[in-house]
Amino acid sequence: MVRHESEIESVEVKGEGISGVRKQILVGPNDGWQGYMRVFALEVGGNTPAHRHPWWHVNYVLEGEGTVFIDGVGHVVKAGSVAHIEGGKLHQFVNTGAVPLKFICLVPPEGDHY
């Protein structure tokens, strides 16, 4: 399988504590991979909810600037930043920049709940 991200549907993520978030599933179980490779885009001022779950995830920032909060500690991120969030940790992404914050998020099979 080879495709371009422009060929993959972007869906609005809705729910309590979510503002201005879109998601694309680049690769997942439907493509023969056991986990999920997703791209999230947070509009200016957008954020994911503060939440926790038992699985890990790894994030790589493609563009923009923001803060990722992990167990109440804020970490500034920008293009090129990598964040590994262990299962069970309270976490949230907030776009603090002037352009969309876009990042790749890898999770195990049970991890695509948004």
Supply the DSSP string of 24-79, one letter for each residue: EEEE-GGGT-SSEEEEEEEEEEEEPPPB--SS-EEEEEEESEEEEEETTEEEEEET
Region 40-54 average pLDDT = 97
pLDDT for the residue numbered 114: 65
pLDDT at 63 over 80: yes
Domain count, the chain: 1
In the chain, pLDDT over 90 holds for what percent of residues?
A: 95
Query: Residue 23 forms beta bridges with which residues?
Result: 11, 40
Mean pLDDT of 11-34: 95
Task: State the pTM of this model.
Answer: 0.95
Decide if pLDDT at 70 tops 70: yes
In this prediction, residue 27 carries a pLDDT of 96
For residues 20 and 47, what is the distance between their CA atoms, to the nearest angstrom? 7
Grouping H, G, I as helix, E, B as strand and the rest as coil, residue 18 is coil
pLDDT over 70 (residue 54): yes
Work out the pLDDT band at 112, boundaries 50, 70, 90: confident
Q: What is the CATH number of the domain that holds 69?
A: 2.60.120.10
**Beta pairing, strands 101-107 & 36-47:** antiparallel
Range of the domain at 56: 5-111
* Residue 8 CB partners (closer than 8 Å, separation 6+): 24, 25, 26
pLDDT at 22 over 70: yes
pLDDT at 103 over 70: yes
